[in-house]
């Protein structure tokens, strides 16, 4: 199965899409005698890093160096099914999911369920509109400008608008990959991951002694999380875990890695 190139492809598409819309508007303009329709004010272009936006989406304070937030995010009290408290409630991923589909995705059931919508439908919108949402423009409870600076919010907006993977292209609802080539995945794993995580993925334990969590565990339990972290990086990891951006991975490569790492212990 062929996947789209992830980041740059999506960014270019936005430009092409815009051009198409403009072209369509022009052809729709009636007879030359009609007074020209005034074009709407163009929204400002935002400059930033959508890949960093993805790391912020995971756990923003580890990226900005801020203190972990205390207390619950204001919107948290509007749901009761997810019983976490404190800093976790401030992570974008906790409300919108690793698959970006919120209640319609993997967080539609289980302990992470909030019932909140995803962000996938916002992909392709103008980043400036997303920025406004992140500043509480649509709902004052969704104002993150109190905890993040303009650049962080801009990077997040660019991530939402331009860099979301379509999780359905990669993983089925039962967590099996939709495709991929495990042999290619093995080569990539040994070239890029084994140095830090060991040949079997067990060199770093993300859990604890009684409940160890390794690359293989995450790949099986939460393939969406693995895919997101492969594409964007691991917040606060030391040494910093390089993201797909630095390897120039495509979604195809991520599929190969996913298939292979699901076989690891
Ligand atoms: C405590 C839960 C919560 C957190 C944390 C959260 N959101 Fe939201 N978000 C919501 C809810 C609920 C909505 C629904 C719209 C509304 O009422 O504002 C929403 C709406 C959105 C939308 C609009 C979606 C659409 O299609 O209209 C975007 C984009 C978004 N959030 C991005 C983010 C980002 C990026 C972060 C991290 C900085 C974040 N959210 C953190 C709960 C949350
Ligand atoms: C430069 C070293 C380095 C490389 C290369 C690296 N990682 Fe990591 N990785 C880390 C560190 C450090 C952590 C954070 C461990 C922690 O938080 O306990 C991490 C975390 C992870 C996590 C766990 C995320 C979580 O849920 O906490 C996964 C899964 C993972 N890496 C997979 C991979 C894969 C697959 C590759 C190859 C594409 C890779 N890593 C390459 C250093 C690296």
% of the chain exceeding 70 in pLDDT:
86
Domain count, the chain: 2
Per-residue H/E/C for 67-101: CCCCCCCHHHHHCCCCCCCHHHHHCHHHHHCCCCC
Final residue in a domain of this structure, among 109, 130, 164 = 164
Show the ligand 2 pocket: residues with CB < 6 angstroms.
192-193, 195-197, 204, 206, 215, 218, 225-226, 229-230, 234, 237-239, 241-242, 257, 261
Residues 150 and 227 placed together within one structural domain of the fold? no
Quick check: is 154 in a domain? Answer: yes
Quick check: is 56 in a domain? Answer: yes
Residues 207 and 159 placed together within one structural domain of the fold? no
Residues 158 and 255 placed together within one structural domain of the fold? no
Residues 76 and 141 placed together within one structural domain of the fold? yes
CATH number of the domain residue 242 falls in: 1.10.760.10
Identify the pLDDT of residue 41.
84
Average pLDDT over residues 58-79: 97
Q: Please compute Rg for the chain using Cα positions.
A: 20
Residues 100 and 197 placed together within one structural domain of the fold? no
What integer best gives the mean pLDDT of the chain?
88
CA 137 vs. chain centroid, Å, equals: 21
Q: Is the CB of 122 under 6 A from ligand 1?
A: yes
Residues 159 and 173 placed together within one structural domain of the fold? no
Residues 136 and 214 placed together within one structural domain of the fold? no
Quick check: is 124 in a domain? Answer: yes
Identify the pLDDT of residue 34.
66
Ligand 1: which atom is nearest the Cα of residue 138?
A: 18
Quick check: is 45 in a domain? Answer: no
Residues 103 and 175 placed together within one structural domain of the fold? no
Ligand whose nearest atom lies closest to the CA of 157: 1
Q: What is the pLDDT of residues 158-206, one digit of tens each?
A: 999 999 999 999 999 999 999 999 999 999 999 999 999 999 999 999 9
Average pLDDT over residues 226-253: 85
Final residue in a domain of this structure, among 114, 146, 164 = 164
Residue 76: which domain range? 50-164
Final residue in a domain of this structure, among 164, 188, 212 = 164
């Amino acid at each position: 199965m062929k996947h789209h190139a992830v980041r740059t492809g999506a960014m270019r598409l936005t430009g092409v899409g815009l051009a198409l819309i403009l072209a369509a508007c022009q052809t729709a303009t009636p007879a030359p005698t009609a007074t020209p329709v005034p074009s709407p004010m163009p929204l400002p272009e935002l400059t930033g890093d959508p890949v960093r936006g993805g790391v912020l989406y995971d756990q923003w304070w580890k990226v900005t160096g801020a203190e972990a937030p205390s207390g619950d995010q204001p919107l948290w009290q509007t749901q009761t099914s997810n019983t976490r408290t404190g800093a976790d409630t401030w992570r974008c991923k906790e409300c919108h999911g690793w698959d970006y589909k919120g209640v319609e995705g993997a967080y539609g059931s289980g302990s992470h369920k909030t019932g909140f919508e995803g962000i996938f439908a916002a992909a392709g919108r103008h980043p400036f509109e997303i920025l406004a949402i992140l500043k509480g423009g649509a709902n004052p409870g969704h104002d993150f400008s109190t905890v993040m600076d303009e650049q962080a919010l801009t990077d997040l907006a660019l991530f939402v608008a331009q860099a979301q993977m379509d999780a359905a292209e990669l993983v089925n609802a039962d967590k099996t990959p939709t495709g991929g080539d495990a042999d290619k995945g093995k080569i990539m794993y040994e070239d890029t991951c084994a140095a830090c995580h060991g040949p079997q993925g067990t060199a770093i334990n993300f859990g604890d002694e009684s409940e160890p969590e390794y690359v293989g565990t995450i790949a099986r339990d939460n393939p969406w999380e693995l895919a997101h972290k492969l594409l964007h990086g691991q917040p606060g990891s030391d040494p910093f875990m390089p993201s797909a951006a630095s390897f120039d991975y495509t979604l195809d490569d991520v599929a190969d890695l996913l298939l292979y790492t699901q076989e690891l212990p």
